[in-house]
């Protein structure tokens, strides 16, 4: 058994969720009580504290033979935490017209649209409009769509391509409703391409093949849908996954898909945080750190997939979002880097083409050229960064 007491710098209890990782990688989930205490009833390797009340996530460990520990979760500076990752890709992210004239498709778990999200149309893979009134509010798909298309009033409630038209397709498992049915990815792509004529598709998920035979099987199944999208000028972005060991997931690893990995900005988070821990680990890994032309230092999120199939990177650790009701939550993973990159490219595509419909036959070529032209080489190992980090305009972030 282990007991963790979670407080802020002044000793006030911190409310949040806790992930306790057993030696074999199994994760137990817990929640702090009114005193900031959480208990686990097994043996654990590490714990990640995930506050929901304005504090940074904290990685605790190793926990071998530890029975009790006190954990301090640093208080965040709200405005900076909510906006650093937006301004990393789009320094003028408060500007109007981001993504106007571009259609973005999102394939994910559905949600009940809330404030700033009512403009999003949600469909199933058959093209029938979803009844969203009984769905959960804050699904994985909700967070992805917030990144791209939220239309709130505060700067941190504005998606990076908020003027784009967003069409959402549900690929949730019919039984669980909270996990992906990977067999629906292909039909969802087909629907978005043929029925909604999207320019860009975001897929913040994927699957790892157990062997070459399975890789071939998955690639052949998805290849027909993805090939048709490519031929019709649609650019597909997919998260490479959160496993440095397993490489790049499918469909990100397919040749005509833009695979997106994750990076972080150095110096954003205090050292005694999850983001700070990953920054330190990256500094000890070969080819895992780099910099923008301004001197701002960037680090590779070491849990991100890497290698063949990774084309570019986006912010994927220390990504804070404000939910309806004012709750703050911090996320990490390529699921969040992917829509940030897709939205940035959608913004660039909109600026380059305006509302010219004649671009359709050449939009994939145009988008590919745009992606390369706006990507900043960070100086990392190519297997970790691909072409680099797409920035809509010259970054205004300065080095320390």
**Which one is catalytic: 108, 124, 170, 199?**
108
31 neighbors 38 (Cβ within 8 angstroms): yes
Q: At what angle do helices 78-89 and 334-353 cross, to 10 degrees?
A: 50
**Which one is catalytic: 140, 156, 300, 364?**
140
The 3 state secondary structure assigned to the chain is: CEEEEEECCCCCECCEEEEEECCCCCEEEEECCCCCEEEECCCCCEEEEEECCCECCEEECCCCCCCEEEEECCECCHHHHHHHHHHHHCCCCCCCCCCCCCEEEEEECCCCCCCCCCCCEEECCCCCECCHHHCCCCCHHHHHHHHHHCECCCHHHECCCCCCEEEEEECECCCCCCCECHHHHHHHHHHHHHCCCCCEEEECCCECCCCHHHHHHHHHHHHHHHHHHHHCCCEEEEECCCCCCCCCCECCCCCCCEEEEEEEECCCCCCCCHHHHHHHHHHCCCCCEEECCCCCEEEECCCCCCCCCCCEEEECCCEEEECCCCCEEEECCHHHHHHHHHHHHHHHHHHHHCCCHHHHHHHHHHHHHHHHHHEECCCCCHHHHCCCEECCCCCCCCCC
**Which one is catalytic: 139, 149, 304, 335?**
335
Known catalytic membership, residue 140: yes
Distance CA 277, CA 244 (A): 17
277 neighbors 350 (Cβ within 8 angstroms): no
Could you tell me which residues are beta bridge partners of residue 320?
A: 330
How many degrees, rounded to 5, is the angle at CA 36 between CA 21 and CA 83? 80
* Count of Cβ atoms closer than 10 Å to residue 327 Cβ: 13
Catalytic center residues: 108, 140, 335
């Amino acid at each position: 058994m282990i007991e963790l007491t979670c407080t802020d710098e002044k000793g006030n209890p911190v409310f949040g969720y806790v992930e306790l990782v057993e030696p074999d990688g199994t994760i137990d989930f817990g929640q702090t009580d009114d005193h900031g205490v959480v208990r686990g009833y097994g043996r654990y390797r590490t714990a990640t504290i995930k506050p929901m009340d304005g504090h940074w996530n904290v990685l605790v460990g190793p926990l071998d033979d530890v029975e009790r520990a006190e954990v301090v979760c640093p208080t965040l500076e709200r405005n900076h935490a909510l906006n650093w990752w937006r301004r990393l890709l789009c320094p003028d992210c408060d500007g109007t017209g981001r993504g106007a004239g571009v259609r973005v498709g999102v394939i994910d778990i559905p949600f009940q649209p809330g404030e700033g999200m009512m403009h999003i149309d949600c469909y199933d893979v058959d093209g029938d409009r979803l009844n969203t009134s009984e769905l959960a509010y804050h699904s994985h798909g909700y967070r992805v769509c917030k990144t791209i298309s939220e239309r709130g009033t505060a700067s941190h409630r504005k998606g990076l391509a908020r003027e784009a038209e967003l069409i959402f397709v549900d690929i949730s498992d019919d039984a669980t409703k909270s996990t992906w049915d990977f067999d629906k990815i292909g039909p969802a792509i087909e629907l978005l391409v043929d029925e909604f004529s999207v320019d860009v598709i975001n897929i913040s998920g994927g699957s790892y093949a157990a062997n070459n035979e399975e890789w071939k099987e998955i690639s052949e199944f998805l290849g027909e849908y993805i090939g048709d999208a490519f031929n019709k000028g649609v650019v597909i972005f997919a998260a490479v996954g959160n496993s440095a060991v397993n490489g790049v997931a499918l469909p990100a690893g397919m040749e005509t898909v833009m695979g997106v990995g994750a990076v972080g900005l150095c110096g954003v988070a205090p050292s005694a945080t999850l983001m700070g821990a990953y920054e330190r680990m990256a500094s000890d890994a070969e080819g895992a750190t780099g910099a923008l032309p301004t001197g701002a230092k960037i680090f590779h999120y070491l849990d991100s997939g890497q290698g063949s199939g990774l084309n570019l990177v986006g912010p994927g650790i220390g990504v804070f979002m404000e939910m309806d009701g004012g709750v703050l939550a911090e996320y990490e993973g390529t699921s969040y880097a992917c829509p940030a990159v897709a939205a940035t490219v959608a913004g660039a595509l909109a600026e380059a083409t305006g509302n010219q419909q004649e671009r359709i036959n050449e939009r994939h070529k145009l988008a590919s050229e745009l992606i390369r032209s706006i990507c900043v080489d960070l100086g990392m190992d190519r297997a970790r960064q691909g072409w680099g980090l797409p920035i809509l305009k010259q970054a205004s972030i300065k080095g320390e």
